[in-house]
Structure 1
Amino acid sequence: MAYQYNVSSIHLLLFRMLFSLPFYIIILLLDNRKREVKVILKNKDYLWLFFFGFIGYYLASYFDFLGLQYIEASLERIILFVYPTLVLLINRLFFKEKVTKHQVWAILLTYIGVVLAFGSGSQVFDYTILLGGVLVFLSALTYASYLVGSGWLIPRFGVKTFTSYAMIVSTICVVIHYLLVDRTSIFIYPKEVYYLGFLMAIIATLIPSFLVSYAIQKIGASNFSILGSIGPFSTIVLAIIFLNESMSFWQFIGAIIVVVGVRIVVKKNKGNS
């Protein structure tokens, strides 16, 4: 909705982060004041926190915002939805968690669905669409890495402290990016851009960031990522309602296959529990 006003990706990301920053600072200060038991944290814990804050809500968001300049939100969501399988793979590579046959089939189905959706019509020959798809995939990869790191660090920092620190780090990274790469004025847009930026800061950043962290604390990064199967359909519906986007037959089939792949993992996890 904001891109119709020709706002740049970095400006839109900057509005999103700056408008949410005061809330994170206040929550962090209140949480630290209420804490009775102080966890002993090492320097490397803060280094990892900085790293995951950098990739989680700076790189992942920036790649996604860039990608949305080249592809529609409905297709972006389908590609982004590979992140549950990426979480499984990252956990396997770095934490030696076993990947079952059901999960392998789910991963294969997920990527078949993405290829079908991505290659529908003449899009496969459009290098602009390919660029957008690669950028969104990088967003999925960095976000998956953040989820894995969250599951590891949240028990040490606590949900509120970890989330607030991570988002403050991300905001600092966005501001530095803006100062180094794009120093054009941020006060050149119609008021609707700032309204949308504020709504994104609260509804699409502040609230979900804490919900994500609490969910990871309760059920783990892998289960959280898998249970995000509502994502593609909710975005498609919202894009059709608010952006007047349409969805091709093959994109719909691709979305169905992606969700079926994820549901295989969900069903297997329920069986194991």
Structure 2
Amino acid sequence: MSATTATAHPQAARRVGLAMAATGAILFSAKAILAKFQYRYGVDSLDVLALRMLLSLPLFVALGIRESRRPERAPMTRRDFGLIVILGVLGYYLSSLLDFWGLEYVPVSLERLILFLNPTFVLLIGVFAFKRRVARREWVALAVSYAGVSLVFVENLRVQGEHILLGSALVLGAALSYALYLSMSGQLIKRIGSLRLVAYAMTISTAATLTHYLIARDPSHLFELPMPVYGLAAINAFFCTFLPVTFTMGAVARLGAGTAAQMSVLGPVSLVFLGAWLLGEPVTAVQLVGTAVVLGGVLLLTRPGANSVPVAETAHNAPDEDEPGKTAAR
């Protein structure tokens, strides 16, 4: 085999990986657009979340069954199951509920920027809970990220009013909840695999969501919504929940976790323009500057070796396929 042929395959795999990572990042973010469209039909955040989880459940159950049958997977302990219950409630039920609730009050561009503070929350959790040391570059990245969000927040407060305060607080709670999920999931990802963890956690989250729904309102209401709501929910479940997970896993396998994580910054960039195009949300120069500042801070934190608060083992200690829990869907 010639040298040209030998190098062609890695280059092709990298191109495919970059395309999968970019597509996954944009699809993850697009769930906010779909939620905004659903709200126009009089539904609320609990309706949106319940439909999303219910319709994606069969896909994740099938994924979990497939992953559990892999011969190389170690059997799970009671402690593992207990942690999965906690992670499912934190990472996919509580975080998603607060996120969709916040979207009732804030534009999608601000929502996505706040959620991209996850790396900074993980860093701070490592400092205060695990006594990790933080490099100077990480503190700079932290300051840059929050400065950018502050710019966008103040501009949205000026343009859209005080309801931005409540919505931003809810989305901030969603980001913190998901950061706790990331901080707690590292060793579990290594033991049982990221795909199996995501599948099981999504199943637990669906159970928590439906329990909440049964307590909060008549379950028959979920089957009496306008038909477009169900169509948008199906798109959300497949294209913005299940499909991005598989795309992200494929990207990590081809690129490594570090590069795939860096590609995720395309999400908030895409929402700035998708929100303006599809929802008519205003875009100002200050918002664009704030977006660029936040992305700069996130890029500093997601560069290989930049984060001193490891969520999972690094690539030389664990296989790449077990890393992508950091970028799983919410």
Counterpart secondary structure, 1:119: helix
Counterpart secondary structure, 2:222: coil
Could you report, residue by residue, the CA deviation over 1:48-76 in whole angstroms, capped at 9, with x for unpaired residues?
11101111111111001000001111121
Distance in 2 (alpha carbons) for counterparts of 1:84 and 1:51: 20
For 1:48-127, what aligned pairs fall within 5 Å after superposition? 48-120=83-155, 122-123=157-158, 126-127=161-162
Paired residue type of 1:163: V
1:214–1:139 distance in 2 versus 1, CA, 3 Å: farther
Paired residue type of 2:281: E
Structure 2, unaligned runs of 5 or more: 1-36, 309-314, 316-330
Paired residue type of 2:66: L
Counterpart secondary structure, 1:247: coil
For 1:196-235, what aligned pairs fall within 5 Å after superposition? 196-211=232-247, 227-235=263-271
Does residue 239 (structure 1) correspond to residue 275 (structure 2)? The answer is: yes
1:79–1:262 distance in 2 versus 1, CA, 3 Å: same
Distance in 2 (alpha carbons) for counterparts of 1:219 and 1:98: 25
Does residue 161 (structure 1) correspond to residue 199 (structure 2)? The answer is: no
Paired residue type of 2:233: G
Distance in 1 (alpha carbons) for counterparts of 2:53 and 2:125: 27
- Which residue in the other structure is 2:183 paired with? 148
Structure 1, unaligned runs of 5 or more: none
How far apart are 1:219 and its partner, in Å? 5.3
TM-score, length-scaled by structure 1? 0.88
Count of aligned pairs between the two proteins: 270
1:213–1:135 distance in 2 versus 1, CA, 3 Å: farther
Could you report, residue by residue, the CA deviation over 1:132-164 in whole angstroms, capped at 9, with x for unpaired residues?
000000111111222233332111112332111
Distance in 1 (alpha carbons) for counterparts of 2:256 and 2:129: 19
Counterpart secondary structure, 1:36: coil
1:22–1:121 distance in 2 versus 1, CA, 3 Å: closer
Aligned 8 A contact 1:84 1:226 in 2: no
- Which residue in the other structure is 1:249 paired with? 285
Q: 284, 294, 309: which one pairs with 1:258? A: 294
Q: Which range is displaced more, 11-20 or 37-46?
A: 37-46
1:19–1:267 distance in 2 versus 1, CA, 3 Å: closer
Distance in 2 (alpha carbons) for counterparts of 1:59 and 1:166: 12
Paired residue type of 1:196: L
CA RMSD in angstroms, aligned pairs only? 2.7
Aligned 8 A contact 1:84 1:225 in 2: no
- Which residue in the other structure is 1:133 paired with? 168
1:27–1:254 distance in 2 versus 1, CA, 3 Å: same
